[in-house]
């Protein structure tokens, strides 16, 4: 379900539809159905965002979610298509754990986490989600963890040291 879209600003974005949910509201004339869509958008090079949209029809909900995801793009610090170090993230009762993996390992993650990693450009990672499997909360927990990554460059600049001083044991 991934689409590569060419927008007017000549950047290619990978779009993933994570979940569509149908809700019913009972009214006098019967049931009124509404739909929600959860999407993830990224450029495959470290920028990723998620969006949530609600509407009476599925295509409109997906379109709203894609627009919200584009507004919500965040940068993720990556190292050679994997993470810098192991991370924990949580949102609500959803908890996620992810750790870097060697080249050739691939994406070992499920559900919403996999979509976030694919859109962010992570190619090798080991990940596990615990607690609630609600896709919205899993995606939010994953994004909370990924946006909190600090690269050695950032830490060295903050401390006023060289990268070699930070990385040496």
Q: What is the pLDDT of residues 96-151, one digit of tens each?
A: 999 999 999 999 998 889 999 999 999 999 999 999 999 999 999 999 999 998 88
Query: Which has the closest alpha carbon to 116: 155, 73, 150?
Result: 73
Residue 4 near residue 34, CB atoms below 8 Å: no
Question: Given a cut of 60, is residue 10 above it in pLDDT?
Answer: no
Query: Which has the closest alpha carbon to 94: 138, 45, 153, 62?
Result: 138
Model pLDDT, residue 164: 82
User: Measured over all CA atoms, what is the biggest interatomic distance in the chain, rounded to whole angstroms?
Assistant: 70
Answer whether 0.85 is exceeded by the pTM: yes
Question: Given a cut of 60, is residue 1 above it in pLDDT?
Answer: no
φ and ψ at residue 62, rounded to 5 degrees: -65, -40
Which percentage of the chain shows pLDDT scores above 70?
Answer: 92
pLDDT band, very low/low/confident/very high, at 3 (cuts 50, 70, 90): low
Specify the 3-state DSSP secondary structure of 72: coil
Model pLDDT, residue 49: 95
Average pLDDT value for residue range 74-95: 92
Strands 87-91 and 74-75: unpaired
Q: What is the pLDDT of residues 160-169, one digit of tens each?
A: 888 888 776 6
Strands 87-91 and 125-131: unpaired
What is the rounded distance in angstroms from the CA atom of residue 96 to the CA atom of residue 42?
20
Residue 100 near residue 94, CB atoms below 8 Å: no
Average pLDDT value for residue range 39-63: 95
């Amino acid at each position: 379900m991934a689409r590569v879209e060419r927008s007017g600003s000549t950047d290619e974005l990978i779009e993933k539809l994570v979940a569509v949910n149908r809700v019913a509201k009972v009214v006098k004339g019967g049931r009124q159905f509404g739909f929600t869509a959860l999407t993830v958008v990224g450029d495959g090079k470290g920028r990723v965002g998620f969006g949530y949209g609600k509407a009476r029809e599925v295509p409109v909900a997906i379109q709203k979610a894609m627009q919200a995801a584009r507004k919500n793009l965040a940068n993720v610090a990556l190292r050679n298509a994997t993470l810098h170090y192991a991370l924990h993230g949580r949102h609500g009762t959803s908890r996620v754990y992810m750790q870097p993996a060697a080249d050739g390992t691939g994406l070992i993650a499920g559900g919403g986490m996999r979509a976030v990693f694919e859109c962010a450009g992570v190619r090798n990672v080991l990940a596990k989600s615990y607690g609630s499997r609600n896709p919205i909360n899993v995606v939010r927990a994953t994004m909370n963890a990924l946006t909190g990554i600090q690269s050695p460059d950032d830490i060295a600049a903050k401390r006023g040291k060289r990268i070699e001083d930070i990385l040496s044991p």
